[in-house]
Amino acid sequence: MGIDHRIHLCLAKMSDTGAEQRYIQEAFASNWIAPLGPNVDAFEKELERFLNTSVISTGADRRSGEISDNKVYVAAVSSCTAAIHLSLLLLGVGKDDEVICQSFSFCASSNPVTYCGATPIFVDSEEDTWNMSPELLEEAIKDRIAQTGRKPKAIIVVDLYGMPAKWDEITAISQKYAIPVIEDAANALGSYYKGKPCGTFGNIATLSFNGNKIITTSGGGAILCKDEATKKRAIFLATQAKEPYLHYEHETIGYNYRMSNISAGIGRGQMTVLEDHIKHHQHVHELYSSLMNNPSVSIVSINPNLDFNSNFWLTTALFNDGVDIETLCKKLDAAGIEARPLWKPMHLQPVYKHAPAFTNGFSEYLFKHGICLPSGPWVTDEDVKYIVEKIKSTIID
């Protein structure tokens, strides 16, 4: 069970070898208690190695170690939210621009658009991956061009719950209209689309190392860039945009978004358990799938096709019409199980009620019928059996 008697969705878990504490200890011993420093550089290198050399040839778990042709350069920052903000700035998004965003996601995927003074244009999801619908994306682009005479400046697509988006279709549309894509891979470190790692599909991509993600730095994120110059520019903007003079000279507005050397020490330790965590999330998902044989519930694998190899960061369940999601979550909560409704689509959020939206009703359906289940590294087989039994007995009541 976890460090208390509740079963959480996904709680941080440090390695059994104490690697995180050793890297922090090194930082203390050398007095690198600052942003920048050897742990930050090393963490970036280790992420680059993972993303640039792990591909799946066929089927799950067969990593061949070949070099991926989707090479990325990693800059570690203070959060994924900051990484998305910087990505928008790197793509030149500014006041009065429009940015197309996946509606079915956490607010952090689209809020940075507002930070830039730009307007999010929300696009609904398709049924296979629950990520941005390529058809609606193209409709949105055409409509915005017709309405405003200008193209949207960028597209933010999410690999939600770890499931890769339909990257071939989305990339084709992005290239057809020459609009760059930001891939929010906050949930998808260790997921693969057609054998290539998530985080390498957007023109720029982001990761999260928040406490509830597949690995953590306690809080942190990363920008994945396609060339070294963009990585350097990202670091420049993340460290207050200091021009190369002895005194402080500023030609650009910068931000204080760099990852600290202490956080990166935790990240380095977590890299030693990344593969274990991925396997564990996938194992938990399989166990839920095999145990939950009930006509009112489906454990969602979406497209079990090998092209969509999810890390299953969170396992999700969909319920038939008769099941009230809120009551179910409350009952599970009373049984010591943390379960939550799926994301409420951004186009239904009060704060975005004036934002244009291209919808098909699907994300709204998901919100009303689905929940996330405990899936993190503390969740045991016994926990999964207990949760499945509780769900079954609750929906029969």
Ligand X SMILES: *Cc1c(COP(=O)(O)O)cnc(C)c1O
Least gap, CB of 351 to ligand X (angstroms): 16
Binding residue (CB under 6 A) for ligand X from 32, 106, 130, 362: 106
**CA 50: distance to chain centroid?**
16
Residue 380 Rama label (left phi>0; alpha psi -120 to 50; beta): beta
Least gap, CB of 89 to ligand X (angstroms): 16
The rounded distance, in Å, linking the Cα atoms of 154 and 108 is 16
Residue labelled with tokens 């929010």: 184
Closest to ligand X by CB, 80 vs 189, is: 80
Residue nearest to ligand X (CB): 80
109 binds ligand X (CB under 6 A): yes
Closest to ligand X by CB, 199 vs 395, is: 199
110 binds ligand X (CB under 6 A): no
- Which secondary-structure segment (H or E) carries 340? strand 340-341
Whether 233 contacts 252, CB under 8 Å: no
Of the chain, the end-to-end C-alpha distance in Å amounts to: 26
Total of chain residues touching ligand X, rule CB under 6 A: 14
The rounded distance, in Å, linking the Cα atoms of 120 and 357 is 9
Per CB under 6 A, which of residues 204..233 are in contact with ligand X? Answer: 208, 210, 221
125 binds ligand X (CB under 6 A): no
Least gap, CB of 109 to ligand X (angstroms): 5
103 binds ligand X (CB under 6 A): no
265 binds ligand X (CB under 6 A): no
Whether 260 contacts 89, CB under 8 Å: no
Least gap, CB of 360 to ligand X (angstroms): 20
Closest to ligand X by CB, 51 vs 156, is: 156
Comparing CA positions, the residue from 112, 79, 102 lying closest to residue 183 is: 102
- Which secondary-structure segment (H or E) carries 87? helix 80-90
Are β-strands 315-319 and 370-373 bridged in parallel, bridged antiparallel, or unpaired? antiparallel
Least gap, CB of 77 to ligand X (angstroms): 9
311 binds ligand X (CB under 6 A): no
The rounded distance, in Å, linking the Cα atoms of 183 and 181 is 6
Closest to ligand X by CB, 86 vs 284, is: 86
259 binds ligand X (CB under 6 A): no
310 binds ligand X (CB under 6 A): no
- Which secondary-structure segment (H or E) carries 363? helix 362-369
79 binds ligand X (CB under 6 A): yes
Per CB under 6 A, which of residues 171..210 are in contact with ligand X? Answer: 184, 186-187, 208, 210
Cα torsion 131, 135, 138, 144: sign: negative
108 binds ligand X (CB under 6 A): yes
Rg (CA), the chain: 21
The rounded distance, in Å, linking the Cα atoms of 158 and 161 is 9
Closest to ligand X by CB, 344 vs 392, is: 344
Binding residue (CB under 6 A) for ligand X from 56, 75, 80, 132: 80
Helix and strand tally (H, E) in the chain? 12, 15
Closest to ligand X by CB, 9 vs 297, is: 9
Least gap, CB of 241 to ligand X (angstroms): 21
Residues that bind ligand X (CB under 6 A): 79-81, 105-106, 108-109, 158, 184, 186-187, 208, 210, 221
